[in-house]
Structure 1
């Protein structure tokens, strides 16, 4: 396998042209604050053949918008403020060590989206192999600078952002090994808002930067089309059951869906070929049987 100059290494794997598509199972908050549930989701990703799992890390007092902190929310643990809920679903250092060890033992890379600068330090202390920038954080230049300072690879999602905002984020991360993911932050995502041609737009705009796709759509078709259009990484939320309580479950893939996604991505990779026209061995018998006029 030829490793091109425009690849980015995360863990033991390279992302970019000519490399296998890097599939990320986004656990996010779908663990609902339960370590055992998070471990089961790590197993789902590993069993499906994904390469990584991703979490979200917040310091709720900082990352929760002021207007949301006192908003009441119905939860499985009773009614509480949105800020209390955010604390309820956060993992501490020991829990993350347990989850990281589990992911590593299952052969997966693991990392998280920090939503504030203390969370960058928290994750760096755990020696994550990469940082993910959530779409909501594209304009948080202080956060981007803290991530950039780690020197780690960065995966930048681009939902709910203009090209100018993405340009500023890419500039802030200049020098970091960077992957940019096309995304539309509608949950769940309707096909009319997928705008997959942005994959080529981003590739042209940021030469040498690997471009992937982060999807929130029901089903597999749009993610598979993204791979056919050249996405080098695909991130999808995963859940045990889309009917579970929580805001992201409905836009997530269940275990069978993730297995099918990885299976079909590998078929597409094999089918893309190299663009050089040739007569394949399987065509020789039909050629001998069916062609009447030789060239």
Structure 2
């Protein structure tokens, strides 16, 4: 078990800022130039990393029109699996250039392989860490093969029961790979708030002793920012240049300005979370004068009794603290006290 993992030159996990991944997926819409543009835009939007997916239609499914290969509901309703993957996949011959572009501009680059030949390809490419998609979490032979590369693995847990997650984690650890992070995930496209169960983040962290984050397919940034407040250390969001560029992922992807705002909100949330600290900041010290304290609200002559009629607990805080109220009542003024004067011990007997 490890509370942190290293992704390229960054530590991810306990006491570290959230690692933010821009998922390209199909948003290149068949254009290598757009894929390169997405990498540059992700960097400008504040992402730590850009992710692609490495598969071909043939490595994912069978070219068949039988009913089992048809999608009958959801975002891709009516699609045939093989034709969907034809539209969505990132050509392998692009990926070396995409990685070089990421390295040139200073953003991390990695991929989601779906079977062993994709892992071999990415190993030859020199990818330093991997993503396991929710749909692969039960493919234990594949997880074992990937884990044997002894590189960090970020694994999404969408659709998985706790038992299935445990089985996948044990499969990775049994080959000696402890470089693992888990992402809470709702594998619906788009996800809705009712299905996200962000409380799983803390539970996954406590159960498996690994860094935990969120693979977020919901619209907007509320879930991502909230998850950081709940302990998420990795945020993955689909990223596009424009949702008007149609592709299988565009409808639930973030445009650059939206992604940048999300990043800024996450960083602001991290600053607000801060640390356990009850010391008083300089700004708070300046505000303390607006607490209530005991003031004379009538002119009080020397020798006159202090009563509820001639003193009150009001703002600002220059007088005796309210906790002294009972001790002050029925004492006597030892000098004249003008209305509007903060009470002090030197004024009463």
TM-score normalised over the length of structure 1: 0.90
Residue 37 (structure 2) aligns with: 40
| Maintained 8 Å contact 2:88/2:247 | no
Residue 29 (structure 1) aligns with: 26
Distance 1:196 1:84, change over 3 A: closer
Post-superposition CA distance 1:203-239 (Å, at most 9, x none): 12112x0001110011111110001101001000011
Residue 76 (structure 1) aligns with: none
Is 1:18 aligned to 2:19, yes or no? Answer: no
Residue 173 (structure 1) aligns with: 172
Distance 1:91 1:243 in 2: 19
Distance 1:223 1:290, change over 3 A: same
Distance 1:172 1:190 in 2: 31
Is 1:106 aligned to 2:108, yes or no? Answer: no
Distance 1:203 1:91, change over 3 A: closer
Post-superposition CA distance 1:56-103 (Å, at most 9, x none): 111432322565689699xxxxxx975356356544554211100101
Q: State the secondary structure of the residue aligned to 2:47.
A: coil
Is 1:216 aligned to 2:181, yes or no? Answer: no
Residue 116 (structure 1) aligns with: 115
| Maintained 8 Å contact 1:242/1:252 | yes
TM-score normalised over the length of structure 2: 0.76
Greater radius of gyration (CA)? 2
Q: State the secondary structure of the residue aligned to 1:150.
A: coil
Equivalent runs, 1:43-192 vs 2, <5 Å: 43-64=40-61, 82-83=81-82, 86-87=85-86, 90-174=89-173, 175-192=177-194
Distance 1:254 1:147, change over 3 A: same
Structure 1 regions of 5+ residues with no counterpart?
Answer: 74-79
Is 1:193 aligned to 2:195, yes or no? Answer: yes
Aligned length: 284
Distance 1:195 1:65, change over 3 A: farther
Q: State the secondary structure of the residue aligned to 2:146.
A: helix
Is 1:235 aligned to 2:236, yes or no? Answer: yes
Alpha-carbon offset, residue 144 of structure 1? 0.5
Distance 1:232 1:150 in 2: 24
Higher relative contact order (CA 8 A, sep 6+): 1
> What RMSD, in angstroms, separates the aligned Cα atoms of the two structures?
2.2
Distance 1:190 1:94 in 2: 35
Alpha-carbon offset, residue 17 of structure 1? 1.2
Distance 1:244 1:176 in 2: 40
Distance 1:158 1:82, change over 3 A: closer
Q: State the secondary structure of the residue aligned to 1:19.
A: coil
Distance 1:65 1:154 in 2: 27
Q: State the secondary structure of the residue aligned to 1:261.
A: helix
| Maintained 8 Å contact 1:69/1:81 | no
| Maintained 8 Å contact 2:62/2:82 | no
